[in-house]
Structure 1
Amino acid sequence: MIELLEQVNHWHWLAFGLALLCLEVLGTAGYFLWLGISALIVGAILSALPLGWQMQWMSFASFGLITTWLWWRYQKGKDKKDDKTTTLNKRSQHLIGQFTTLEQDFPVGKGRLKLGDTSWTAVSEQKIEAGTAVEVYKVEGIILHIRQKH
């Protein structure tokens, strides 16, 4: 077994790295991507420097851990940023800033407003006449707060 490990050269590492990258293409969600890149790095280093088989495997393990950890840190930071700005499944939040023209007079307080293909409960602090453009400026639950467009 030791004889086989001592015969490994840079071509073996490059082939191993490419095989791992090919497995990644099959859809392993990034598990083999960084290991494949690490194997390619070890192959590139081995083509320039002679390393023993122990150092080759230690380098592969180190590069694999480092690249995977860096990717995990990058994704973790990206996910936190996305959590703050996402409005996925918050349909009413998409309505803030939208404009529509009233089809009928809107009373002070609560009333109904047609926006898109849906009728919404809306609140206004002033009476607004039909034909006036209004803006949705705030949403509380499923209640839209509207005001005249400036």
Structure 2
Amino acid sequence: MIELLQQLNHWHWLALGLALLCFEVLGTAGYCLWLGISALVVGLLLTLLPLGWQMQWMSFASFSMITTWLWWRYQTGKDQKDEQTTTLNKRSQSLIGQFTVLDTDFPIGKGRIKLGDTSWSAMTEHNLAAGTTVEVYKVEGIVLYIRVKK
């Protein structure tokens, strides 16, 4: 077994890297991508420097851990950013900042407004006349808070 490991050259690492990248195409969700890239880096490094088989495997393990850790850090930061900025499936939150014209007079307190293709419960602190352009500035649950457009 040791003799087999001692015979590894850069072609073996390049072939392993390409094989892992091919497995990635089959749908391993990124697991083989970084291992394949690490194997290719070891193959390229081996073309420049003569390394023993122990150092080759240590380099492969190190590169694999570094690349997967970097990808994990990038992905978790991206997921947190997407989570904070998305209003997908939060329809009421996506209404903040939208304008509409009132169809009827709106008394102080709670009433209903038509925004888009839906009628919403709304609250205001002032009497508003029909034809006034209002802005949604806050949402609590399914109640929109509106004010006169500035």
TM-score of the aligned structures, taking structure 2 as reference length = 0.93
Tell me how far apart the structure 2 counterparts of residues 9 and 62 of structure 1 sit (CA, whole Å): 18
Aligned match of 2:108: 108
Aligned match of 1:56: 56
Instruction: Report the CA distance between 1:68 and its aligned residue.
Output: 0.9
Equivalences for 1:1-150 in 2 at 5 Å? 1-150=1-150
Partner AA of 1:23 in structure 2: F
Deviations 1:23-52 (A, max 9, x none): 112221110111011000000000011111
Instruction: Report the CA distance between 1:88 and its aligned residue.
Output: 3.2
Tell me how far apart the structure 2 counterparts of residues 64 and 110 of structure 1 sit (CA, whole Å): 59
Unaligned runs of 5+ in 1: none
% identity of equivalent residues: 77
Partner AA of 1:30 in structure 2: G
User: What's the Cα RMSD here?
Assistant: 1.3
Partner AA of 1:133 in structure 2: T
Instruction: Report the CA distance between 1:130 and its aligned residue.
Output: 1.3
Secondary structure at the counterpart of residue 123 of structure 1: strand
Instruction: Report the CA distance between 1:129 and its aligned residue.
Output: 1.3
Partner AA of 2:29 in structure 1: A
Secondary structure at the counterpart of residue 31 of structure 2: coil
Secondary structure at the counterpart of residue 32 of structure 1: helix
Name which of structure 1's ranges 134-143 and 67-76 shifts more when overlaid on structure 2. 67-76
Q: Paired residues, what number?
A: 150
